[in-house]
Structure 1
Amino acid sequence: MKKLVVVILLMGIIAGLFISSSQTYEQQSIVPDLERLLPNEPLEGPLSKLEIPYWGKIISVEERGYYYFLEFLLRKSAHFFTFGALAAVLFWLLPKIRFRFFIAAFLTFLAASADEFHQSLTGGRTATWLDVRLDMSGAFVFLIIIQLFVSLRSKSRKPRTMD
Structure 2
Amino acid sequence: MPTLFIDADACPVTREAIQVAREHGWSAVVVANSTQNLDRYASRRGVEAVQVSGGRDAADFAVVERLAAGDAVVTQDIGLAAMALGKGAGALSPRGRIFHLATIDAELAVRHAQAKLRRQGGRHGGPSKFTDEDREHFIEQLERLLRSPQAAQ
Provide TM-score, normalisation by structure 1: 0.22
Q: Which has the larger radius of gyration?
A: 1
Report which structure shows greater RCO (CA 8 Å, sep ≥6): 1
Provide TM-score, normalisation by structure 2: 0.23
Higher strand share: 2
